[in-house]
Amino acid sequence: MNSGQNQQVFRTLLNAMSAPGKTFAFDTAEWSDRLSSAPLSPACAAICLSLLDGASPISVFQMPESVAPWLLRHCRVPISSPEQAVFALGTGKHWDWDQNLLNIGSEEEPEKGATLILELDSLSDGAPLQLTGPGIASSRTAAPRLAPGFVNFWHKQQGLYPRGIDLILCCRNECLCLPRSISIHADREN
Protein backbone atom coordinates (compact mmCIF):
# COMPACT_ATOMS: atom_id res chain seq x y z
CA MET A 1 0.00 0.00 0.00
CA ASN A 2 1.23 3.50 -0.67
CA SER A 3 1.23 6.27 1.93
CA GLY A 4 -2.12 7.65 0.72
CA GLN A 5 -3.74 4.24 1.15
CA ASN A 6 -2.17 3.86 4.60
CA GLN A 7 -3.53 7.27 5.59
CA GLN A 8 -7.00 6.31 4.34
CA VAL A 9 -6.97 3.13 6.45
CA PHE A 10 -5.63 4.97 9.48
CA ARG A 11 -8.29 7.71 9.19
CA THR A 12 -11.02 5.08 8.92
CA LEU A 13 -9.67 3.35 12.05
CA LEU A 14 -9.55 6.67 13.94
CA ASN A 15 -13.16 7.31 12.96
CA ALA A 16 -14.14 3.79 14.06
CA MET A 17 -12.36 4.14 17.42
CA SER A 18 -14.04 7.50 18.02
CA ALA A 19 -17.50 6.08 17.19
CA PRO A 20 -17.48 2.72 19.02
CA GLY A 21 -19.84 0.07 17.70
CA LYS A 22 -20.43 1.83 14.39
CA THR A 23 -19.42 -0.07 11.25
CA PHE A 24 -17.00 1.59 8.84
CA ALA A 25 -16.11 0.36 5.35
CA PHE A 26 -12.70 0.53 3.71
CA ASP A 27 -12.53 1.47 0.05
CA THR A 28 -10.22 -1.36 -1.01
CA ALA A 29 -11.02 -1.38 -4.74
CA GLU A 30 -7.92 0.48 -5.92
CA TRP A 31 -5.54 -1.80 -4.01
CA SER A 32 -7.40 -5.09 -4.19
CA ASP A 33 -4.51 -6.64 -6.13
CA ARG A 34 -2.24 -6.24 -3.07
CA LEU A 35 -4.90 -7.59 -0.71
CA SER A 36 -5.99 -10.52 -2.89
CA SER A 37 -2.95 -12.60 -1.85
CA ALA A 38 -3.66 -12.04 1.84
CA PRO A 39 -5.01 -14.98 3.88
CA LEU A 40 -7.20 -12.42 5.69
CA SER A 41 -10.29 -10.38 4.89
CA PRO A 42 -9.58 -7.17 2.93
CA ALA A 43 -10.28 -5.04 6.03
CA CYS A 44 -8.05 -7.10 8.29
CA ALA A 45 -5.22 -7.19 5.73
CA ALA A 46 -5.46 -3.42 5.17
CA ILE A 47 -5.38 -2.78 8.92
CA CYS A 48 -2.34 -5.03 9.36
CA LEU A 49 -0.52 -3.37 6.45
CA SER A 50 -1.28 0.06 7.90
CA LEU A 51 -0.63 -0.49 11.62
CA LEU A 52 2.01 -3.19 11.91
CA ASP A 53 5.76 -2.76 11.60
CA GLY A 54 8.98 -4.09 13.06
CA ALA A 55 8.40 -2.22 16.33
CA SER A 56 4.95 -3.72 16.98
CA PRO A 57 5.14 -7.43 17.84
CA ILE A 58 2.03 -9.47 17.14
CA SER A 59 0.69 -12.73 18.52
CA VAL A 60 -1.36 -14.90 16.15
CA PHE A 61 -4.12 -17.19 17.46
CA GLN A 62 -5.93 -20.00 15.62
CA MET A 63 -5.45 -18.49 12.18
CA PRO A 64 -4.53 -20.35 8.99
CA GLU A 65 -0.84 -21.32 8.86
CA SER A 66 -0.29 -18.89 5.99
CA VAL A 67 -1.09 -15.82 8.15
CA ALA A 68 2.18 -15.58 10.13
CA PRO A 69 4.43 -15.84 7.03
CA TRP A 70 2.26 -13.26 5.25
CA LEU A 71 2.58 -10.86 8.21
CA LEU A 72 6.35 -11.37 8.32
CA ARG A 73 6.72 -10.80 4.58
CA HIS A 74 4.36 -7.86 4.08
CA CYS A 75 4.43 -6.10 7.46
CA ARG A 76 7.89 -7.14 8.68
CA VAL A 77 6.33 -7.60 12.10
CA PRO A 78 7.88 -9.92 14.69
CA ILE A 79 5.66 -12.75 15.92
CA SER A 80 5.73 -12.85 19.74
CA SER A 81 4.19 -14.37 22.83
CA PRO A 82 0.77 -12.99 23.86
CA GLU A 83 2.24 -11.26 26.91
CA GLN A 84 4.77 -9.31 24.80
CA ALA A 85 2.49 -8.52 21.86
CA VAL A 86 1.41 -4.99 21.05
CA PHE A 87 -1.19 -6.48 18.68
CA ALA A 88 -2.94 -9.84 18.55
CA LEU A 89 -4.76 -11.39 15.62
CA GLY A 90 -7.37 -14.13 15.86
CA THR A 91 -10.77 -15.35 14.77
CA GLY A 92 -13.86 -14.30 16.65
CA LYS A 93 -15.55 -17.68 16.57
CA HIS A 94 -12.55 -19.37 18.25
CA TRP A 95 -11.49 -16.68 20.69
CA ASP A 96 -11.47 -17.90 24.30
CA TRP A 97 -12.62 -14.91 26.34
CA ASP A 98 -12.06 -16.82 29.60
CA GLN A 99 -8.32 -17.08 29.00
CA ASN A 100 -7.01 -13.67 28.02
CA LEU A 101 -3.22 -13.81 27.93
CA LEU A 102 -2.76 -10.41 26.31
CA ASN A 103 -0.93 -7.50 27.89
CA ILE A 104 -3.44 -5.16 29.55
CA GLY A 105 -0.90 -2.48 30.43
CA SER A 106 -0.17 -1.25 33.94
CA GLU A 107 -1.47 1.53 36.17
CA GLU A 108 1.59 3.58 35.20
CA GLU A 109 1.41 2.69 31.49
CA PRO A 110 -2.13 1.67 30.55
CA GLU A 111 -1.43 2.55 26.91
CA LYS A 112 0.74 -0.58 26.74
CA GLY A 113 -2.43 -2.70 26.64
CA ALA A 114 -2.66 -4.76 23.46
CA THR A 115 -5.00 -4.18 20.54
CA LEU A 116 -6.84 -7.34 19.51
CA ILE A 117 -7.79 -7.60 15.83
CA LEU A 118 -10.44 -10.27 15.29
CA GLU A 119 -11.77 -11.67 12.02
CA LEU A 120 -15.52 -12.26 12.36
CA ASP A 121 -18.15 -13.94 10.23
CA SER A 122 -20.45 -10.94 10.73
CA LEU A 123 -20.45 -7.50 12.31
CA SER A 124 -24.23 -7.34 12.50
CA ASP A 125 -25.98 -10.64 13.24
CA GLY A 126 -24.57 -11.63 16.61
CA ALA A 127 -26.14 -11.14 20.03
CA PRO A 128 -27.10 -7.44 20.41
CA LEU A 129 -24.90 -5.42 22.75
CA GLN A 130 -25.65 -2.04 24.33
CA LEU A 131 -22.67 0.30 24.27
CA THR A 132 -22.24 3.48 26.30
CA GLY A 133 -19.32 5.80 26.91
CA PRO A 134 -17.00 8.17 25.06
CA GLY A 135 -17.94 8.66 21.41
CA ILE A 136 -21.55 7.52 21.93
CA ALA A 137 -24.27 10.17 22.40
CA SER A 138 -26.47 8.12 24.75
CA SER A 139 -26.22 4.47 23.77
CA ARG A 140 -25.59 2.42 20.64
CA THR A 141 -26.54 -1.13 19.75
CA ALA A 142 -23.98 -3.31 17.98
CA ALA A 143 -24.26 -7.00 17.17
CA PRO A 144 -20.90 -8.43 16.10
CA ARG A 145 -20.83 -12.24 16.07
CA LEU A 146 -18.45 -12.89 18.98
CA ALA A 147 -17.65 -16.13 20.79
CA PRO A 148 -19.53 -16.85 24.05
CA GLY A 149 -18.15 -15.20 27.16
CA PHE A 150 -17.42 -11.80 25.62
CA VAL A 151 -19.76 -9.75 27.84
CA ASN A 152 -18.35 -11.35 31.01
CA PHE A 153 -14.82 -10.68 29.78
CA TRP A 154 -15.67 -7.03 29.09
CA HIS A 155 -17.24 -6.56 32.54
CA LYS A 156 -14.05 -7.89 34.16
CA GLN A 157 -11.96 -5.63 31.94
CA GLN A 158 -14.03 -2.57 32.96
CA GLY A 159 -12.96 -3.13 36.55
CA LEU A 160 -9.33 -2.74 35.45
CA TYR A 161 -9.78 0.49 33.49
CA PRO A 162 -7.68 2.35 32.30
CA ARG A 163 -5.83 -0.93 31.78
CA GLY A 164 -7.27 -3.36 29.24
CA ILE A 165 -7.32 -4.19 25.57
CA ASP A 166 -8.92 -2.46 22.61
CA LEU A 167 -10.75 -4.44 19.92
CA ILE A 168 -10.80 -4.00 16.16
CA LEU A 169 -13.39 -6.35 14.63
CA CYS A 170 -13.16 -7.09 10.89
CA CYS A 171 -15.46 -8.71 8.36
CA ARG A 172 -14.99 -8.49 4.59
CA ASN A 173 -14.10 -4.83 3.90
CA GLU A 174 -15.61 -3.44 7.14
CA CYS A 175 -14.47 -2.85 10.69
CA LEU A 176 -16.06 -2.00 14.02
CA CYS A 177 -14.03 -0.87 17.03
CA LEU A 178 -14.59 -1.38 20.74
CA PRO A 179 -12.11 0.71 22.75
CA ARG A 180 -11.56 -0.25 26.39
CA SER A 181 -13.10 3.05 27.54
CA ILE A 182 -16.69 2.01 26.74
CA SER A 183 -19.18 -0.02 28.77
CA ILE A 184 -20.86 -3.00 27.13
CA HIS A 185 -23.94 -4.86 28.32
CA ALA A 186 -26.01 -7.63 26.78
CA ASP A 187 -29.13 -6.15 25.19
CA ARG A 188 -31.90 -7.76 27.27
CA GLU A 189 -34.68 -6.41 25.03
CA ASN A 190 -33.68 -8.56 22.03
22-78 pLDDT, tens per residue? Answer: 999 998 776 777 678 899 999 999 999 999 999 999 999 999 999 999 999 999 999
pLDDT, averaged across the chain: 93
Residue 17 scores a pLDDT above 60: yes
Predicted pLDDT at 190: 46
Query: What are the beta bridge partners of residue 142?
Result: 129
Report angle CA 112, 28, 6 to the nearest 5 degrees. Answer: 40
Domain ranges of the chain: 3-186
Residue range 3-186, CATH number: 3.40.50.11310
Predicted pLDDT at 94: 83
134-171 pLDDT, tens per residue? Answer: 999 999 999 999 999 999 999 999 999 999 999 999 99
Residue 1 scores a pLDDT above 70: no
Q: How much is the pTM?
A: 0.95
Predicted pLDDT at 27: 85
Q: What is the mean pLDDT of residues 3-16?
A: 91
